[in-house]
Amino acid sequence: MAQVPVNVTVTGAAGQIGYALLFRIASGQLLGADTPVKLRLLEIPQAVKAAEGTAMELDDCAFPLLQGIDIFDNPGQAFEGSNVALLVGARPRTKGMERGDLLEANGGIFKPQGEAINAGAADDIRVLVVGNPANTNALIAQAHAPDVPTERFTAMTRLDHNRALSQLAKKLGVSINEIKKLTIWGNHSATQYPDIFHAEVNGTTGAKAVGDQAWLENDFIPTVAKRGAAIIEARGASSAASAANAAIDHVYDWVNGTPEGDWTSAAIPSDGSYGVPEGLISSFPVVSRNGRWEIVQGLDIDEFSRGRIDASVQELSEERDAVKKLGLI
Ligand code: NAD
Ligand code: LMR
């Protein structure tokens, strides 16, 4: 029997990340090689024409799994029947801007999108927010979708996770798949904490394998945490293909499960674990089982890690207070 296609809504479809993402979704990399998809693209009116151009190119790829493309400039229509929503459309950070500067500009985008998800998305909707400030934008969208289970709203720290894997693998001269159980804690921002104390590398921990606290503090953590800014500096534009790749990884694992013996990082609503205030959308070590993210429990957090986690979580609390003040949640 032919499989029912999964409706995937992508906002900001005509942007840089959209361009790197849509072809991979249509080729089956988001959900699996046997899952047909229908794309629902949301853009602002001025960018609809560009999205139409991308849709023409998608047609020209003749992807067997792609069963339709619809383009909208109205969130109400774009999220109708949506099973997976990738909220990418936002104002990207430009040189010299911090994510906090973006709160007000982007907050206004995520309120109507949350309302539209609440009104029309499918019961199994899963939302990944990529547009920055991603954690707090997810909180805004979630606040306006009271009928959707809160756990369905997530934000992307998988790019940070992949960046950390890559930096650690280079330092140790090992391949990526020799490293397991690395964690990004907190906010997708320069305060994030990439944790290698629980990471496993060939029978020891990442921190022991490195054996160099100065490298950890002065090189590894800032390189990972400020990688987004370094890419903006080098490219003159924010990361796009690596961000799209991380979005694919996040949703694929959420739907299909994470491999046994490993975990990944995702920003999901806190249940109070590890002292992170309940409700904040913060990055944790997570596994996906039966289509749901679960926070890995029972890790010992030493004083160094505690301070780093607390600092990033504090920033998330401040962002939440700021959007509360703006009346966005
Ligand atoms: P871009 O400017 O190339 O594209 C953004 C697109 O969003 C544009 O086409 C714009 O027209 C569209 N858009 C704006 N408002 C919209 C709305 N209300 N509805 C629908 N579409 C709308 O930007 P980009 O490089 O694709 O980046 C998108 C976002 O992703 C930025 O916020 C960027 O900072 C963020 N980002 C996040 C991560 C992460 O790891 N979480 C990584 C990279 C980039
Ligand atoms: C990134 O991490 O590459 C993006 O979030 C862009 C940014 O503003 O840092």
Same domain for 92 and 108, yes or no, is yes
93 CA closest ligand 2 atom index: 8
Going by alpha carbons, the residue nearest to atom 9 of ligand 2 is 228
Q: pLDDT tens across 182-234, in order?
A: 999 999 999 999 999 999 999 999 999 999 999 999 999 999 999 999 999 99
Please indicate, yes or no, whether residues 81 and 202 belong to a single structural domain of this protein.
no
Q: Which two tokens stand for residue 127?
A: 């939302």
* pLDDT above 80 (res 144): yes
Measured CA to CA, the distance from residue 92 to residue 288 in angstroms comes to: 29
Residues 175 and 222 in one domain: yes
* Spatial separation of the C-alpha atoms in residues 276 and 29, rounded to whole Å: 33
pLDDT in tens, 248-260: 999 999 999 999 9
Is 10 near ligand 1, meaning CB less than 6 Å away?
Answer: no
What CATH number does the domain containing 44 carry? 3.40.50.720
**What is the count of structural domains for the chain?**
2
**At 175, which CATH number?**
3.90.110.10
Q: Are residues 143 and 231 in the same domain?
A: no
Query: pLDDT tier at 103 (50, 70, 90 boundaries)?
Result: confident
| Ligand 2 atom with minimal separation from the 238 CA | 6
Phi and psi of 202, rounded to 5°? 45, 55
Ligand 1 in reach of 44 Cβ (< 6 A) = yes
| Residue span of the structural domain in which 71 resides | 6-155
250 given a catalytic annotation: no
Query: Where a domain ends, among 155, 185, 202?
Result: 155
How does 195-207 read in b/e, with b if 16+ C-beta sit within 10 Å?
Answer: bbbbbbbeeeebb
328 in a structural domain: no
Residue at which a domain ends, from 155, 189, 212: 155
Same domain, 225 and 178: yes
